């Protein structure tokens, strides 16, 4: 019992229309990395928000270091030694990195904030954590991955005894993930307790000591990580077997027409002379390391960013896409990697978000036909199995995976012929992933064409008919799925970084 750091017993929580937690138990020991797993909407984040004072529990008890506690705010939890690194970033874009890390505890020189002191302190912290970020840089200028590393450093910088990591690697590169694992290893050696929420099975197997699984707001069980398999964890999470096997051959018909052609596209410093074709009924997987220019390429095609040069052809006809409105009218849909910033209006309802790309279909004179809007949104919520009390629920109250399904519904209702999915399963559990994969396969069977940008190699190999690889803004590989391997994709993804030549990475269909 001396090793028990945290003990949550019989935690119950109900929101309007949702029984979010049903008498959940959860225990974390000192010096332990404890995975908390479950499908989106299982209650993981709700449980941790109760622990850190964001929500109040309806019933149950929480003991921390042997004392019964109940925090009324994250500040109280922090003072007691509990910090949480949220999946959704809490940084202020217009402030510097150092200013963000010192929010609420700024160092003053007289009546003026001492920026130079804070910069030196953050430099020392980053050096200790092997983070290569300039503390004087404006936070908004950093990539999502680098902002996430700052969020992690902010939590580690405080004198805490337990840290909750909620999907900490979702936006990190492989090298940043390795550095994070080193940080977690050091914290474990110091006797801290770590709660690690993740959907990535390989990470959970590599870094955790125990796994607690939740399903539909309830406690399923706790198992020792080294004594279980990934399949056993998945079965506990979803109550069924999920099969993930690579695609062995392209399912695109030989005579399939070219739906989209991009010729010599350049945009800013991140997209340089990109050319490729997308066929009817094809899933084109786009792979590459963080910063390779994949998202920037997609945004330039969709009209979200200005292109400097290049041509875009749809069904053989050259088109001008000067704005996202032009793209939507031409039959393109774009699911952004940052769903909250670019894909949703989180303070509006599921129904309003689902239909916002197709509003003209729901207009009745000067007004929106709310009955028709709600009926359509309900149909697609059922198709996608979106977990929401009703389509009148605000999107902000949904889990990350269910928010992603609302974005998908928006483009399905629009009935786009060309869909760009940028990290479509980021932060989504294996059950929801499987559902989205099935949806994508159904779409291409109906003749839709999909560009799928993904940082997960297993996802690229499972879903793609053809793989396009980018590095430093250029296409360095174009290969049919039959010849694509992890080794070939990684070789192409690092080609320009290494400055060498690679034979056979580009093969035309």
Is 60 exceeded by the pLDDT of residue 502?
no
In a domain, 248, yes or no: no
Which segment of 151-160, 200-209, 342-351 scores lowest on mean pLDDT?
A: 151-160
In this structure, are 217 and 154 located in the same domain?
yes
In this structure, are 184 and 326 located in the same domain?
no
In this structure, are 226 and 306 located in the same domain?
no
In this structure, are 291 and 402 located in the same domain?
no
Contact 286, 419 (CB under 8 A): no
Beta partners for residue 277, in sequence order? 261
Which segment of 160-169, 235-244, 408-417 scores lowest on mean pLDDT?
A: 235-244
Per-residue model confidence (pLDDT) at position 498: 47
> What is the per-residue DSSP string for 289-340?
-TTSSHHHHHHHHHTSS--SEEEEEETTEEE---SHHHHHHTTEEEE-SSII
Distance of CA 103 to the CA centre of its chain: 25
Judging by DSSP bridges, how do beta strands 4-15 and 18-29 pair with one another?
Answer: antiparallel
Question: Which one has a higher pLDDT value, 239 or 309?
Answer: 309
Is 90 exceeded by the pLDDT of residue 168?
no
In a domain, 346, yes or no: yes
pLDDT band at 98 (very low <50, low <70, confident <90, very high): very high
Last residue of some domain: 415, 448, 465? 415
Residues 460 and 26: their CA atoms lie apart, in Å, by 35
Lookup: tokens for 72: 């009324």
pLDDT band at 509 (very low <50, low <70, confident <90, very high): very low
In a domain, 243, yes or no: no
In this structure, are 509 and 432 located in the same domain?
yes
In this structure, are 398 and 427 located in the same domain?
no
Is 70 exceeded by the pLDDT of residue 65?
yes
Q: What is the DSSP letter of 200?
A: -
pLDDT band at 504 (very low <50, low <70, confident <90, very high): very low
pLDDT band at 497 (very low <50, low <70, confident <90, very high): very low
Q: What is the DSSP letter of 257?
A: P
Is 60 exceeded by the pLDDT of residue 2?
yes
Closest CA relative to residue 200, chosen from 426, 31, 354: 426
Give 466's contacts (C-beta < 8 A, 6+ positions apart). 250, 252, 282, 284, 285, 478, 479, 480, 481, 509
In this structure, are 502 and 437 located in the same domain?
yes
Is 80 exceeded by the pLDDT of residue 248?
yes
Per-residue model confidence (pLDDT) at position 242: 59
Counted residue by residue, the chain has a size of 509
Per-residue model confidence (pLDDT) at position 508: 43
In a domain, 20, yes or no: yes
What mean pLDDT is reported for the chain?
Answer: 88
In a domain, 465, yes or no: yes
In this structure, are 224 and 300 located in the same domain?
no
pLDDT band at 500 (very low <50, low <70, confident <90, very high): very low
In this structure, are 175 and 209 located in the same domain?
yes
> What is the per-residue DSSP string for 352-400?
HHHHGGGGGGGEETTEE-HHHHHHHHHHHHHHHT---S-TTSBGGGS-H
Share of the chain above pLDDT 90, in %: 54
Residue 208, judged by CB atoms within 10 A of its CB (0-12, 13-18, 19+), counts as buried
CATH of the domain at 488: 3.40.50.300
In a domain, 245, yes or no: no
Contact 19, 6 (CB under 8 A): no
pLDDT band at 59 (very low <50, low <70, confident <90, very high): very high
In a domain, 249, yes or no: no
Per-residue model confidence (pLDDT) at position 501: 41
Last residue of some domain: 359, 380, 415? 415
Determine the structural domain holding residue 12 and report its residue range: 4-238
Per-residue model confidence (pLDDT) at position 240: 62
Per-residue model confidence (pLDDT) at position 482: 95
In this structure, are 452 and 403 located in the same domain?
no
In a domain, 403, yes or no: yes
Q: What are phi and psi of 494, to 5 degrees?
A: -110, 10
Which segment of 151-155, 200-204, 492-496 scores lowest on mean pLDDT?
A: 492-496
Last residue of some domain: 179, 211, 238? 238
Which segment of 72-81, 344-353, 371-380, 396-405 scores lowest on mean pLDDT?
A: 396-405
Contact 353, 413 (CB under 8 A): no
pLDDT band at 276 (very low <50, low <70, confident <90, very high): very high
Per-residue model confidence (pLDDT) at position 506: 54
In this structure, are 121 and 222 located in the same domain?
yes
In this structure, are 182 and 102 located in the same domain?
yes
Number of structural domains in the chain:
3
- Which among 12-21, 122-131, 310-319 has the top mean pLDDT? 310-319
Is 50 exceeded by the pLDDT of residue 13?
yes
216-233 pLDDT, tens digit each: 889 999 999 999 988 888
């Amino acid at each position: 019992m001396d090793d028990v750091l945290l003990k949550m017993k019989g935690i119950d929580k109900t929101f309007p229309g949702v029984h979010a937690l049903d008498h959940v138990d959860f225990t974390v020991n000192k010096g332990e990395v404890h995975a908390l797993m479950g499908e989106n909407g299982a209650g993981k984040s709700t449980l941790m928000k109760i622990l850190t004072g964001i929500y109040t529990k309806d019933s149950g008890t929480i003991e921390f270091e042997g004392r019964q506690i109940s925090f009324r705010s994250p500040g109280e939890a922090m003072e007691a030694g509990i910090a949480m690194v949220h999946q959704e970033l809490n940084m202020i874009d217009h402030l510097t990195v150092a200013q963000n890390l010192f929010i609420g505890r700024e160092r003053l020189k007289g009546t003026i904030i001492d920026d130079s002191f804070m910069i030196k302190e953050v430099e020392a912290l980053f050096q200790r954590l092997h983070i290569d970020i300039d503390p004087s840089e404006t936070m908004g200028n950093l990539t999502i991955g680098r902002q996430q590393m700052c969020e992690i450093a902010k939590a580690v910088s405080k004198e805490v005894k337990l840290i909750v990591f909620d999907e900490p690697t979702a936006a990190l590169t492989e090298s940043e993930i390795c550095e994070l694992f080193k940080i977690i290893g050091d914290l474990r050696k110091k006797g801290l307790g770590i709660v690690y929420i993740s959907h990535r099975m390989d990470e959970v197997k590599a870094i955790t000591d125990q796994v607690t699984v939740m399903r539909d707001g309830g406690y399923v069980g706790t198992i020792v990580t080294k004594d279980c398999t990934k399949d056993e964890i998945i079965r506990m999470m979803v109550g069924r077997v999920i099969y993930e096997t690579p695609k062995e051959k392209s399912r695109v018909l030989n005579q399939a027409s070219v739906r989209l052609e991009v010729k010599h596209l350049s945009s800013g410093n991140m997209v340089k002379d990109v050319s490729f074709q997308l066929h009817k009924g094809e899933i084109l997987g786009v792979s590459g390391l963080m910063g390779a220019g994949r998202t920037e390429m997609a945004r330039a095609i969709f009209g979200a960013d200005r292109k400097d040069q290049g041509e875009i052809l749809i069904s053989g006809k050259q088109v001008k896409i000067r704005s996202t409105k032009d793209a939507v009218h031409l039959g393109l849909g774009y699911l952004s990697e940052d769903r909250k910033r670019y894909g949703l209006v989180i303070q509006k309802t599921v129904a309003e978000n689902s239909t916002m790309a197709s509003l003209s279909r729901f207009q009745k004179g000067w007004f929106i036909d709310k009955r028709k809007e709600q009926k359509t949104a309900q149909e697609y919520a059922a198709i996608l199995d979106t977990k929401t009390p009703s389509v009148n629920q605000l999107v902000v109250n949904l889990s990350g995976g269910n928010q992603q399904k609302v974005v998908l519904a928006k483009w399905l209702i629009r009935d786009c012929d060309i869909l760009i999915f940028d990290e479509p399963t980021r932060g989504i559990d294996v059950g929801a992933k499987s559902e989205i994969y099935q949806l994508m396969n159904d779409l291409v069977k109906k003749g839709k064409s999909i560009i799928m940008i993904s940082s997960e190699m297993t996802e690229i190999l499972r879903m793609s008919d053809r793989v396009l690889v980018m590095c430093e803004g250029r296409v360095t590989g174009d290969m049919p799925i039959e010849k694509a391997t992890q080794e070939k994709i990684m070789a192409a993804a690092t080609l320009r970084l290494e400055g060498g030549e690679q034979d056979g990475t580009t093969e035309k269909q």
